[in-house]
C-alpha cells in the first residue's frame, strides 16, 4: 500500500549550505549546472521528471515531434559524478515559510539555506472559467498530446459526416493569441492543410478548413519589432490563415466561440495561447508580488529577503530598459540562472554580488515550413528562408541533450524534403470533461 | 455540437465489389497492400488510427522507444495514389450480420461483398477480475505508456521513503507470463537496473530491486525449442531475474501477489503477459468459434461462409502440422493477408483458390542488451550475440515505414554504445482506478 505518511523528502543531511531550487525549467537547470555541488547541497523539486524545451511544444501538438524530442529527464541531466550532492524529488511544492526557512511539499517540509523559485508560468485565462473548461491550453506536454489527438479526431470525424454544419465545426480551428505559440501553431496547421491532410483524408474537402488566429492587440507578435510583425502577418496570410487583430474571444462553450462585437465561429477546437501568469507558490508577503510575478532586486533576491531568489519568468526585475520586467522567454531565465550560481558562491564567501544585466540575443519566430522572422541585436531584422535557417540552428543549439538534437534535426530534414509529419497518432483519444455523448462515441482503445 | 446521429461511415458508392477489413494489424495491412484497389473498393475499420509493431511494445514500456517508433498511421500507409479507392474509418465495430451482409459500427451499418476479420487478440485474464483490475497488461501503446509511468513513479517514490516495507514493495516487479513479452520486458528491466537506474537514483539501493518472472509451464518461451528455452533461462538468471517456473499467480490486489502454493510477493507493479484471447466480434454462429478463435478453412474462409474470412491471430486454421492452429505471431498473419489478396481476386474471377501453407521463418526473442535466442528453419538454434544481431535485423526489416526504421536503428546503436535509454519521461502519471490516496499524492501535471 502506498501510504503517503510513509513518504518523505528523504534528503541526506549535509554540512554544506543547502540550495533548494523549485522548478527544472531553463532557470533551474542552468543554475544547477553552473552550481555543480561542490560548495552546496542542491535539491531540485519539480512536479515533472523532465526539463521541457517549450519553444518546440507546438511541434508536438501538430504531430511533428514526439515528446522525447523536446524533453530531457532531469535525473539524466544531473546523473554524472559532477553532481554528487544533487537531489531531485518529483513532488509538488505547496508553499514556503520564510521565517522557519522551509519549503512545504506534499510529503513534508525541507529546511533551506538558500531558496530559488524558478516555477515559470502557467496559462492565464483572465478569469474566464468557461474558456478554461473548454479551450485547449498549450503549456505542457499533455496539453500538446491532447491537442494532437483532438486535431486528428476532428479530421477523422469530418470524414464521417455528410452534415455540412457539423463538418464545418470540425474543420474550423480558432487559435487565440498572436504570440509565438499562436503564430507557430497556426503556421504548422496551415502547412498540414497544404501538404499532409489532403492525402491522408481524401474524402474531406480541405478548402473548407479554416484557421483563425485571433489577437487582441493590433499586430501579431507584439513583443517583436513592427517589421517582424508586418512580415509575420504577410506570411500568415500567404498561408491562408484568417488573422483577426484587435479582437478578443469573449466566450467559448466548446462548440461556439463568440468574439467581441458578436461574431460567432462554430468550432470544436479553440487553442488558448492568449497569455500566461506566474506560477506562484504560497507564503511570500504581498509586497513581494506584482501582477502575478515576484519582485526581485538586480541580484534576483526577492524583495525583503536575502536568501530567497526568483529567476526566469516568475521573477519581475524592473530596470530602466525593462520597466515591466524582462520578456518571458528562455534567455533571461538562462542568464539569471547562470549568474545566480556565481552569486550564491559569492554570497557564501561574503563577497560582493554582481547585478544582472540582460544580454538580449534577439527574438525569433517560425511561420510554417521555411519562413521565419528574427529580430537580432543592432536592429537587424531578418525574414524568410534565412531567418528560418537561423531559427532552426538556434533552437537545435539550445536543445538539451545530444540525442534530442539528432532526432529533431533528422526529423526536420526529413520533413523539409518530404513535406511529411511523422507522428499523426491518436494514442489517447481526447474527450472534453463531461462530454458524455462524445465519450460514448469515441473509439476508446480497448484496455484489454 | 458533435451529434453522433450526424456521423456516418460515409463511404462512397461503388460499382466494384467492396472488401471490408476489420483491423489494421499485420494481417489487415498486408492484405490491403497487396489488394491495391483496382478490382475492389477497400474499407478498413479500426479503433486506432495506426498500425502497431507489437513485437517492440516492451521497448515503449521500458523507456527505450517512443510510440512513434513502433506505430505508423494507417492513413499514411495507404495515402498514395495506388490506393485511390481505399477508405479508412476510425470507428469501433459492434458486430456482423452475415445474412444481411453488413457490418455494424457505432455510426451505422455498412454492406460488404467480402468481409475480412483481422481483429487479432486481446489480453486474457482467464476470468480473474481482480487481476484484470490491478495488473498492468501490455498489448496496446497506452498500456506501455502506463507501465512506463508506473515503473518510473515507483523509483521516484522509492527515493522518497525511509520505510523499508514500502520501499521494497515499490522495488519488487512481478512479470507474469514467460512468453516473448514477459521475457523481453524482464530482460529490459534487468538492463535498466544494471546500467541506468543506479545513476538516475543515487539514493536508492538497487541491490534490493527484485524482478520476478512467473510462468505456469515448466519452461520459459514454451512455443520455442527446448534449446532456446534452456538458453533463455540461463540468460535470465545471469541478468539476476528470479524465474519461477510451474507457478501461477492466483490473486493480486494491487499490493500483494499471491502465488499458487501460498507464496506472497509485495509489489505495486504486476505485469500481466500471461495470455491472449481472440478479439471476437458478435454475429458469427457458435459453430464458427473454437476456444475464442474463428475456425477457417485452408482459404481462410470462415466455416459456413464463402464471403467472410478471418486471418491472423483471430483465425484458427487446423492443419496436420498445426492441429491447434498457427502460432500467434506476425508471420502467419502477414502470409495469410498476402494470400487472401490473391484469393479474393481469384474468387472474383471464379478461379480456383489457393490453400494456405505456412512458411515458418523461425522464432526469435531478445533477452537484455546483447543476448537473444533464435529457432531458425532446418532445426538451427542460435543464441547469444549472433542471435541478437539476427533479432535486430529481422525486427528492423519488418518495421513499417522508412522513418521508423531509422529512428529505431539509431536508438539501438546509441543505446548499445552508451547503455542509455532515452525516454524516461513520466508524461501522464499513472494512478490505478479508485486509488484515491495515490491520486491525491501524485504529482499530476498542472493542467493550467
pLDDT in tens, A84-141: 899 999 998 999 999 999 999 989 999 999 999 999 999 999 999 999 999 999 999 9
Q: What is the pLDDT of residue A189?
A: 96
CA-based nearest residue in chain A for residue B275: A448
Question: Which residues in B lie closer than 8 A to residue A428 (C-beta atoms)?
Answer: 142, 428
Cβ pair B137:A7 closer than 8 A: no
Q: What is the pLDDT of residue A123?
A: 95
Contact of A276 with A139, CB cutoff 8 Å:
yes
Nearest by CB: B4 against A49, A73, A437: A437
Specify the range with the lowest mean pLDDT, choosing from A161-170, A400-409, B428-437, B438-447: B438-447
Question: Which residues in A lie closer than 8 A to residue B49 (C-beta atoms)?
Answer: 152, 156, 424-426
Strand, coil or helix: what is A271?
A: strand
Cβ pair B73:A424 closer than 8 A: yes
Is the pLDDT at A276 greater than 90? The verdict is yes
Question: Which residues in A lie closer than 8 A to residue B202 (C-beta atoms)?
Answer: 84
> Residue A123 corresponds to which cell in the numbers above?
496559462
Is the pLDDT at A256 greater than 90? The verdict is yes
Cβ pair A423:B142 closer than 8 A: no
Q: What is the pLDDT of residue A383?
A: 86
Q: Which helix (H) or strand (E) holds B7?
A: none
CA-based nearest residue in chain A for residue B420: A76
Q: What is the mean pLDDT of chain A?
A: 91
pTM listed for this prediction: 0.94
Q: What is the pLDDT of residue B434?
A: 72
CA-based nearest residue in chain B for residue A432: B2
Q: What is the DSSP-derived secondary structure letter of residue A355?
A: P
Cβ pair B49:A152 closer than 8 A: yes
Q: What is the pLDDT of residue B295?
A: 98
Question: Which residues in B lie closer than 8 A to residue A49 (C-beta atoms)?
Answer: 152, 156, 424-426
Give the Cα-Cα-Cα angle B396, B400, B406 (nearest 5 degrees).
50
Cβ pair A443:B47 closer than 8 A: yes
Q: State the smallest CA–CA distance between residue B114 and chain A in angstroms.
A: 22
Dihedral over Cα of B215, B220, B224, B227: its sign: negative
Q: What is the pLDDT of residue A1?
A: 57
CA B109/CA B111 separation, integer angstroms: 7
Our measurement of the distance from residue A194's CA atom to the centroid of its chain's CA atoms, rounded to an integer in Å, reads 26
Contacts of A296 (CB under 8 A, 6+ apart): A302, A303, A309, A310, A311, A315, A316, A317
Cβ pair A199:B79 closer than 8 A: yes
CA-based nearest residue in chain A for residue B421: A76
Q: Which helix (H) or strand (E) holds A147?
A: helix A141-158
Is the pLDDT at B384 greater than 90? The verdict is no
Cβ pair B66:A71 closer than 8 A: no
With b meaning 16 or more CB within 10 Å and e meaning fewer, what string describes A74-95? Answer: bbbbbbeeebebbbbbbbbbee
Question: Which residues in A lie closer than 8 A to residue B71 (C-beta atoms)?
Answer: 425
Cβ pair A162:B10 closer than 8 A: yes
| Interface residue of A127, A252, A425, A429 to substitute, partner B, most B CBs within 10 Å | A425
Cβ pair B160:A279 closer than 8 A: no
Contact of A95 with A281, CB cutoff 8 Å:
yes
| Interface residue of B73, B87, B196, B399 to substitute, partner A, most A CBs within 10 Å | B73
Question: Which residues in B lie closer than 8 A to residue A255 (C-beta atoms)?
Answer: 1
For the complex shown, is ipTM > 0.90?
yes
Q: State the smallest CA–CA distance between residue A394 and chain B in angstroms.
A: 23
CA-based nearest residue in chain A for residue B268: A1
Cβ pair A200:B75 closer than 8 A: yes
**Banded model confidence at residue B388, pLDDT cuts 50, 70, 90:** confident
Question: Which residues in A lie closer than 8 A to residue B437 (C-beta atoms)?
Answer: 1-4
CB pairs under 8 A between A and B: 230
Q: What is the pLDDT of residue B81?
A: 83
Q: How far apart are the first and last CA of chain A?
A: 24
Nearest by CB: A67 against B66, B441, B448: B66
Residue % of chain A over a pLDDT of 70: 92
Q: What is the DSSP-derived secondary structure letter of residue A67?
A: G
Is the pLDDT at B389 greater than 90? The verdict is no
pLDDT digits (tens, 9 = 90+) for B412-421: 666 666 666 5
Q: What is the pLDDT of residue A84?
A: 85
Is the pLDDT at A245 greater than 80? The verdict is yes
pLDDT digits (tens, 9 = 90+) for B177-210: 999 999 999 999 999 999 889 999 999 999 999 9
What domains can be seen in chain B, in order of their start residue? Answer: 13-47+91-123+277-348 (3.50.50.60), 129-274+370-432 (3.50.50.100)
Q: State the smallest CA–CA distance between residue A389 and chain B in angstroms.
A: 23
Question: Which residues in A lie closer than 8 A to residue B76 (C-beta atoms)?
Answer: 200, 420, 424
Q: State the smallest CA–CA distance between residue B122 and chain A in angstroms.
A: 6
Cβ pair A49:B425 closer than 8 A: yes
How many CA atoms lie within 13 Å of A67's alpha carbon, on the beta-carbon side? 28
Is the pLDDT at B372 greater than 50? The verdict is yes
Q: State the smallest CA–CA distance between residue B151 and chain A in angstroms.
A: 13
Cβ pair A443:B199 closer than 8 A: no
Cβ pair A140:B445 closer than 8 A: yes
Q: What is the pLDDT of residue A414?
A: 67
Dihedral over Cα of B383, B389, B392, B398: its sign: negative
Is the pLDDT at A160 greater than 90? The verdict is yes
Q: What is the pLDDT of residue A409?
A: 73
pLDDT digits (tens, 9 = 90+) for B263-316: 999 999 999 999 999 999 999 999 999 999 999 999 999 999 999 999 999 999
To the query of whether residue A184 is one of the catalytic residues in this protein, the response is yes
> Which of B66, B84, B156, B184 does the annotation list as catalytic?
B184
Nearest by CB: B159 against A10, A79, A427: A10
Q: When comparing pLDDT for B79 and B439, which is higher? A: B79
Q: State the smallest CA–CA distance between residue A320 and chain B in angstroms.
A: 32
CA A410/CA A370 separation, integer angstroms: 16
Q: What is the pLDDT of residue B5?
A: 85
Question: Which residues in B lie closer than 8 A to residue A91 (C-beta atoms)?
Answer: 160, 443
How many C-beta atoms surround the C-beta of residue B370 within 10 A?
16
pLDDT digits (tens, 9 = 90+) for B61-120: 998 888 888 888 999 999 888 898 999 999 989 999 999 999 999 899 999 999 999 999
Q: What is the pLDDT of residue A445?
A: 43
Cβ pair B437:A3 closer than 8 A: yes
Q: What is the pLDDT of residue A434?
A: 72
Is the pLDDT at A208 greater than 80? The verdict is yes
Cβ pair A425:B71 closer than 8 A: yes
Is the pLDDT at A259 greater than 60? The verdict is yes
Cβ pair B143:A447 closer than 8 A: yes
CA A228/CA A237 separation, integer angstroms: 14
Q: What is the pLDDT of residue A444?
A: 47
With b meaning 16 or more CB within 10 Å and e meaning fewer, what string describes B185-214? Answer: bbbbbbbbbeebbbebbbebebeebbbbbb
| Interface residue of B84, B419, B427 to substitute, partner A, most A CBs within 10 Å | B427
CA-based nearest residue in chain A for residue B52: A425
Is the pLDDT at B376 greater than 70? The verdict is yes
**Banded model confidence at residue B445, pLDDT cuts 50, 70, 90:** very low
Q: What is the pLDDT of residue B392?
A: 78
Question: Which residues in B lie closer than 8 A to residue A41 (C-beta atoms)?
Answer: none
> Which of A184, A191, A250, A290 does the annotation list as catalytic?
A184
Contacts of A140 (CB under 8 A, 6+ apart): A48, A52, A57, B445, B446, B447
Q: When comparing pLDDT for B403 and B63, which is higher? A: B63
Question: Which residues in A lie closer than 8 A to residue B166 (C-beta atoms)?
Answer: 1-3, 6-7
Q: What is the mean pLDDT of chain B?
A: 91
Specify the range with the lowest mean pLDDT, choosing from A48-62, A79-93, A409-423, B48-62: A409-423
Q: State the smallest CA–CA distance between residue A379 and chain B in angstroms.
A: 36
Q: What is the pLDDT of residue B314?
A: 98
pLDDT digits (tens, 9 = 90+) for A280-338: 999 999 999 999 999 999 999 999 999 999 999 999 999 999 999 999 999 999 999 99
CA-based nearest residue in chain A for residue B121: A448
Amino acid at each position: 500500500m502506498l501510504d503517503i505518511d510513509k513518504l518523505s523528502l528523504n534528503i541526506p543531511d549535509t554540512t554544506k549550505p543547502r540550495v533548494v531550487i523549485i522548478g527544472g525549467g531553463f532557470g533551474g537547470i542552468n543554475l544547477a549546472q553552473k552550481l555543480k555541488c561542490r560548495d552546496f547541497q542542491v535539491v531540485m523539486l519539480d512536479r515533472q521528471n523532465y526539463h521541457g524545451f517549450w519553444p518546440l511544444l507546438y511541434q508536438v501538438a501538430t504531430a511533428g515531434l514526439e515528446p522525447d524530442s523536446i524533453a530531457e529527464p532531469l535525473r539524466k541531466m544531473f546523473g554524472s559524478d559532477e553532481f554528487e550532492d544533487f537531489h531531485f524529488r518529483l513532488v509538488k511544492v505547496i508553499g514556503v515559510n520564510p521565517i522557519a526557512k522551509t519549503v512545504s511539499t506534499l510529503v513534508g517540509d525541507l529546511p533551506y539555506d538558500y531558496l530559488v523559485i524558478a516555477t515559470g508560468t502557467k496559462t492565464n485565462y483572465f478569469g474566464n472559467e468557461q474558456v478554461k473548461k473548454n479551450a485547449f491550453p498549450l503549456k505542457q506536454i499533455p496539453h500538446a498530446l491532447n491537442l494532437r489527438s483532438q486535431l486528428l479526431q476532428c479530421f477523422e470525424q469530418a470524414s464521417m459526416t455528410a452534415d455540412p454544419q457539423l463538418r464545418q465545426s470540425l474543420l474550423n480551428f480558432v487559435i487565440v493569441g498572436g504570440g509565438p505559440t499562436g503564430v507557430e501553431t497556426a503556421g504548422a496547421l496551415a502547412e498540414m492543410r497544404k501538404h499532409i491532410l489532403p492525402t491522408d483524408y481524401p474524402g474531406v474537402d480541405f478548402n473548407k478548413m479554416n484557421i483563425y488566429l485571433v489577437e487582441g492587440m493590433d499586430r501579431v507578435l507584439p513583443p517583436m519589432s513592427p517589421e517582424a510583425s508586418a512580415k509575420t502577418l504577410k506570411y500568415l496570410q500567404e498561408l491562408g490563415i484568417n488573422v483577426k487583430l484587435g479582437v478578443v474571444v469573449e466566450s467559448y462553450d466548446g462548440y461556439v466561440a463568440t468574439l467581441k462585437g458578436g461574431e460567432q465561429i462554430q468550432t470544436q477546437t479553440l487553442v488558448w495561447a492568449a497569455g500566461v501568469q506566474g506560477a506562484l507558490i504560497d507564503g511570500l508577503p504581498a509586497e513581494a508580488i506584482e501582477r502575478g510575478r515576484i519582485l526581485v532586486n538586480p541580484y534576483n533576491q526577492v524583495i525583503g529577503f536575502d536568501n530567497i531568489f526568483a529567476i526566469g519568468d516568475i521573477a519581475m526585475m524592473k530596470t530602466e530598459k525593462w520597466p515591466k520586467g524582462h520578456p518571458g522567454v528562455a534567455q533571461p531565465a538562462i542568464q539569471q540562472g547562470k549568474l545566480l550560481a556565481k552569486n550564491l558562491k559569492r554570497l557564501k564567501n561574503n563577497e560582493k554580488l554582481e547585478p544582472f544585466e540582460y544580454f538580449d540575443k534577439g527574438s525569433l519566430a517560425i511561420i510554417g515550413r521555411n519562413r521565419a522572422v528574427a529580430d537580432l541585436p543592432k536592429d537587424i531584422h531578418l525574414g524568410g528562408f534565412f531567418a528560418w535557417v537561423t531559427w532552426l540552428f538556434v533552437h537545435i543549439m539550445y536543445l538539451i541533450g545530444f540525442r534530442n538534437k539528432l532526432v529533431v534535426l533528422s526529423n526536420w530534414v526529413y520533413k523539409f524534403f518530404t513535406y511529411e509529419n511523422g507522428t499523426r497518432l491518436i494514442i489517447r483519444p481526447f474527450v472534453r470533461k463531461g462530454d458524455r455523448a462524445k465519450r460514448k462515441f469515441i473509439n476508446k482503445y480497448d484496455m484489454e
